[in-house]
Amino acid sequence: MEIKIGVQHAPREIVLESGQSAEEVERAVADALAGKAQLLSLMDEKGRKVLIPSDRLAYVEIGEAAARRVGFGAL
């Protein structure tokens, strides 16, 4: 699933593909915004961990994974 994270005072958003479910990501974001965690911690598909200070979160967009197209086909 594709996750886009906006960070305050940063010109670009963070985009990552994660194997976590939408419910897991939503729970992690809710815990970070509620003050239960100081960092939003997410894992991407390659096993890298992304840590963002919860007080710097601007927005989080949770979307479906896009199918990757290969080759020269008609759209």
Render pLDDT for 17-74 as a digit per residue (tens, 0 to 9). Answer: 998 999 999 999 999 999 898 999 999 999 999 999 999 999 999 987 666 667 676 6
At 68 the pLDDT is 65
What domains are defined for the chain?
Answer: 2-63 (2.30.30)
Q: Find tokens 């010109």 and name the residue.
A: 11
Cite the DSSP H helix spans in 13-66. Answer: 22-34
Report d(CA 19, CA 44) in Å as an integer: 7
